[in-house]
Amino acid sequence: MRPNRNTTVLTLLTVAISLSACSQGAVDKGSAEARADLNQAELCEVSAWQRDVTSEACKQGQKVVFLPQRWGNEQLPILFAAVNCDLRYSVALTNGGVACIYNPLKPLEKKQETAPDSSKP
C-alpha cells in the first residue's frame, strides 16, 4: 500500500522542524556569549582595511564602518569584511563601504621549528 502524499509531506515537515529546533539551541548558547561582548553604543570609523591599522582605532564587539578615501577597487569592502567583521552578524556592504561588528582575525601562531638532531647517525 502506497502512503498518502499529504502524510509523507507532513512527516518530512515535522522532521525538518524538529531538527532545526535541536540545532537552534546550540547556536543560541554560543550567540549569548558573543552578544555579551557587543557594544552597539559606539561607532568606530576607519578608512583602511588592514587589521593592524583598524585595531588601533576599534575595540572588538564595537560597530565599525569602513569608508575608504578612494573608490575604484570594489574588492576593498570584501577584504575589510573578511579581515575585520564578525560574520556571525549582519554585514552592510556596498561598493563604497562596510558596516559590521568588529572582530579582527587573530594572527596565526608560528610553529617553532626544531633543528634536526645532528647527534643521531
Q: Mean per-residue pLDDT for 91-118?
A: 81
Predicted TM-score (pTM) of this structure: 0.59
- What is the pLDDT at residue 107? 74
Calpha distance 118→120 (Å, rounded): 5
Looking at the chain, the whole-number percentage of residues with pLDDT higher than 90 is: 31
Q: Mean per-residue pLDDT for 78-82?
A: 93
Q: Where are the domains of the chain?
A: 7-36, 39-101
| Strand order across the beta sheet in which 62-66 lies | 39-46, 62-66, 97-101, 92-94
Calpha distance 81→75 (Å, rounded): 10
**CB 33 within 8 Å of CB 64:** no
Which of left, alpha, beta for 25 (phi over 0: left; psi -120 to 50: alpha)? alpha
- pLDDT for 93 beyond 80: yes
Burial of 77 (0-12, 13-18, 19+ CB in 10 A): buried
**CB 91 within 8 Å of CB 85:** yes
3 versus 83: the higher-pLDDT residue is: 83
- pLDDT for 25 beyond 50: no
- What is the pLDDT at residue 105? 87
| Chain segment 34-57, per-residue pLDDT in tens | 566 898 888 999 998 876 667 778
